[in-house]
Amino acid sequence: MQYIDNVIFLILLIAGFGLFAKSLKELYRNIKLGREIDRTDRKAERWAIMTRVALGQSKMVKRPIAGILHIFVYVGFVIINIELLEIIIDGIFGTHRFLQSVLGDSFYAFFTGFLEILAALVVLAVVVFFIRRNFYGVKRLTMKELFGWPKQDANWILIIEFALMVAFFTMNGADFYADSTRFSSNFPISKHLFPFFGNFSIETLHIFEKSAWWFHFVGILFFMNYLYYSKHLHIILAFPNTWFANLEKKGKFNNLDSVTKEIKLMMDPNADPYAAPAEGEAEIPSKFGAEDIFDLNQHQLMSAYSCTECGRCTSVCPANITGKKLSPRLIMMKTRDRLEEVGKNLNKNGGKFVDDGKKLLNDYITKEELWACTTCNACVEACPVLIDPLSIIFEMRRFLVMEQSAAPQELNLMMTNVENNAAPWQYNQADRLNWAND
């Protein structure tokens, strides 16, 4: 019976990571539902961007308060997780503070002391975030579009992070009061937090310490598996999302090759319009633009999962600022909602999508939102993880216009003018030089 702890620990560990791996597999499958896009060129540049933007948080600090607090949580999270290594070793082998024997007393003291300071910064940040989100009223964090699950999700994350840090401090504090000769200088923060621990017996303190240790461990496993269902997935996907980001100028919208072929054929006086397509070139009738998540590319789908719903995009969107329905954040959230719905459909039907009569367009994103966009790229510029909501808006406009001829009447008029008069207004092309004679 003496190994029961270790066995329970191992089972939880394997189950936790196993479930997580399953989620990641599903995530990968869902992203692969999109169209392929080759973003593997210019590798050096991509590594540099990922390092700067995801690892270095360069875009986060554009809003200094949120940016710096976020760095506390981020650095704290990454470094405190080194402790997970110790937890795993202790858990499997039944040791206690294994790293102390490896690092030596003085370095271990420095190391755990450093972790405690980081943990304190995390607590500070998490508390400020909670207040900003729930009481202080930062506009982008209190908009109606976040009501319901997005708001709860955000709060749960903050609460879990807070609880994990409290468990970390409790564990250290109990350890300190149980055996202060061993940890006299290790715990700069926790040793001051729990003076009442001094009244407890060693056995009680051990129970406190062990309970907090288990809570911390199970909490981490839970949090890891919560990611897939949360906006917090960005802690993983921010990295690939920035690596695969669009490196072209923001104003450069892609040209559809299928259209080029058609038009060149139209313009070529020698072309035989009835000619069968050349061998091996059998035309697969492709859809223009995007109606559902299957028509978006894989990076756009990954971006939907990478979105943290921070709303920096929406807060700079000229359409949104002036009260129009468009919110770039909501475009990303709805894309993800639809993608998750399709994912569940696949799970239910043995990996095959069974038509559910719904589409991203209309059922999730309305035309009114799409037509409000000025393509100004402010949302793209604002995103801390290089998401491009504009590219989704643009693809859906393409679908509306080229597949459904469903542009607003005034735009139809403009397009007819361009087509017939070579100008968006109804002027005669022969008058193009009149300005020179005025």
Task: Return residues touching another protein (CB under 8 A).
Answer: 248-253, 255-256, 259-260, 262-264, 266-267, 288-289, 316, 318-319, 321-326, 368, 371-378, 380-381, 394, 397-402, 407-408, 410-411, 413-415, 418-419, 422-425, 427, 429-438
User: Rounded to 5 degrees, what are φ and ψ at 35?
Assistant: -70, 145
Smallest gap from Cβ 310 to another protein, in A, equals 16
Helix (H) or strand (E) holding 229: none
Smallest gap from Cβ 247 to another protein, in A, equals 13
The C-alpha angle 32, 232, 151, rounded to 5 degrees, equals 120
Smallest gap from Cβ 317 to another protein, in A, equals 9
Residue among 171 and 380 whose Cβ is closer to another protein? 380
Helix (H) or strand (E) holding 206: helix 202-226
Smallest gap from Cβ 290 to another protein, in A, equals 10
Tell me the C-alpha distance between 286 and 300, whole Å.
Answer: 19
CB 122 within 8 A of CB 165: yes
Nearest to 108 by CA among 97, 116, 100: 100
User: How many residues comprise the chain?
Assistant: 438
Residue among 280 and 323 whose Cβ is closer to another protein? 323
3-state secondary structure of 274: coil
Q: Is the dihedral of CA 71, 72, 77, 82 positive or negative?
A: positive
3-state secondary structure of 365: strand
Residue among 349 and 374 whose Cβ is closer to another protein? 374
Smallest gap from Cβ 428 to another protein, in A, equals 9
Residue among 163 and 376 whose Cβ is closer to another protein? 376
Residue among 89 and 407 whose Cβ is closer to another protein? 407
Smallest gap from Cβ 10 to another protein, in A, equals 51
Residue among 1 and 436 whose Cβ is closer to another protein? 436
Tell me the C-alpha distance between 409 and 369, whole Å.
Answer: 16
Residue among 238 and 396 whose Cβ is closer to another protein? 396
Token digits of residue 424: 């968006």
Tell me the C-alpha distance between 31 and 13, whole Å.
Answer: 27
The C-alpha angle 171, 172, 175, rounded to 5 degrees, equals 90
Smallest gap from Cβ 97 to another protein, in A, equals 48
Token digits of residue 367: 């035309």
Tell me the C-alpha distance between 323 and 345, whole Å.
Answer: 35
Residue among 274 and 425 whose Cβ is closer to another protein? 425
Smallest gap from Cβ 151 to another protein, in A, equals 24
Smallest gap from Cβ 433 to another protein, in A, equals 4
Q: Is 379 exposed, middle or buried (0-12, 13-18, 19+ CB in 10 A)?
A: buried
Residue among 356 and 368 whose Cβ is closer to another protein? 368
Tell me the C-alpha distance between 16 and 20, whole Å.
Answer: 6
Tell me the C-alpha distance between 304 and 256, whole Å.
Answer: 23
